[in-house]
Structure 1
Amino acid sequence: MIDHLVYATPHLEATVADLARQGLGTSPGGAHDGLGTRNALADLGGGAYLEVIGPDPDQPEPAQPRPFGIDGLTAPRLVAWAVRVDNLDAAVATARSRGHDPGAARDMARLRGDGLRLAWRLTPMPATVPAVVPFLIAWGDTEHPSLGAARGARLESLTLAHPDPAAVREQLAAVGVTDIAVEPAPAPALHAVLRTPSGPVDLG
């Protein structure tokens, strides 16, 4: 199932304010210490959420580039998405047996604004964005971020685009995704439509 969509931005506060003007409220997430990033979250229903992620001005410049190509962004962009699994190691092994290697799992954690520590495991975040093939994530016993995220929005649709849709569908099937549309396009792209009380919000 879809765990979350990643909407990366060069200016987190400005993007959060712009989304609010469109009718999409978010709640503060937390800082990713050492990565130089911070996020804000919106519940999308069905156990999914939107992560708006950008540079954290309260952290020093990280030793490595920020994830999701944030350092090179000039405008907000939907860059990646994640699929939630119960047993990450088993899901990685299954995907590899089906011809797709999601990469080795790693541990991550952050402190929520109220001090609660969230910990999770995930396969590598994409080196090139936008990434139409999802990374995998498992939350274990940690409270899922969607439970504390701003409510009111719903994920209406997620569409993937790629020059080789057939190859992408094979990779999606390897991680258990068979119900997401993949359209032909000159370059990889992600597009989501979120339904809010004020109307639809398009993210691309």
Structure 2
Amino acid sequence: MIDHLVYAGPDLEAAAKSAESIIGVRSVEGGRHVGFGTANRLIGLGPSTYLEIIGPDPSQPAPAFERPFGIDALEAPRLVAWAVAVDDIEAARKLVEFAGIGPPVEMTRRTPTGDLLRWRLTPPVPGSMPFLIDWLDTPHPAGQLEQVAKLVDLRIEDTDPGEVRKVVRALNVNVSTRKAWEPRIAATIDLPDRRVVLW
């Protein structure tokens, strides 16, 4: 199932305002990714799904390597990645290894209340392929978020949607795919009074 969407930008606060203006829901502070030079804010999209808004963390020194999700090259905020929740990340990765999805790494971050979150994920690959995430013994972050918005459709556009289709079939994930000039992600989100699309 879809775990979360990644909305990244060159400035975290500007990215948060952009997402909030489209969705109409305030984001909440997530935490800092120490050593990666990033921090995030979150918006709930369902009981087990959320939007991660990520950007540079001005309180950290710039890392010696590029920040994840191509953040350093972005000129404006946009959807850049999506994650699929799995219970056994090693077994799931073997199903999609053909798509260049690499071995998982473990990460942590502290919430604003001091709780330690721990998870394993496969490094995101460029384009529109998902990455995999296993929250281990950590309660899912969406459980702490206001449930006003709901993700109802995710469309993955790619120059070669056939490869994406193979991956989503292997993982049994319900998304739509379409051929396009460049990889793009479109999320259709329902609110109590309207429907919006976040790119």
Note whether the superposition's TM-score is higher than 0.5: yes
CA contact (8 A) 2:188 2:197 kept: yes
Aligned to 2:119: 120
Question: Unaligned regions of 5+ residues in structure 2, if any?
Answer: none
Match of 2:109 in 1: 110
Of the three residues 143, 146, 158, the one matched with 1:147 is 143
In the TM superposition, 1:110-189 aligns within 5 A as 110-126=109-125, 128=126, 131-177=127-173, 179-189=174-184
Alignment of 1:14-33 (within 5 A): 14-22=14-22, 23-33=24-34
Alignment partner of 2:43: what SS? strand
Equivalent residues of 1:20, 1:26 under 8 A apart: yes
Instruction: Tell me, yes or no, if the aligned pair for 2:106 and 2:120 is still in contact at 8 Å.
Output: yes
Say which SS state the counterpart of residue 13 (structure 1) adopts. helix
The one-letter code matched in structure 1 to 2:69 is: F
Deviation at 1:149, TM superposition (A): 2.4
The number of aligned residues is 198
Secondary structure of 2:95's partner?
A: helix
Deviations 1:23-80 (A, max 9, x none): 1221110000010100001111141110000011111111111100101111001000
Q: 1:193 to 1:106 in 2, by over 3 A?
A: same
TM-score (norm 1): 0.90
Give structure 1 stretches of 5+ with no counterpart.
none
1:150 and 1:26 map into 2 onto residues whose CA distance is: 9
SS at match of 2:94: helix
Equivalent in the alignment of 2:190:
195
What do the CA deviations read for 1:147-175 (whole angstroms, capped 9, x no partner)?
12233111121101112222221122233
Query: Normalised by the size of structure 2, how large is the TM-score?
Result: 0.92
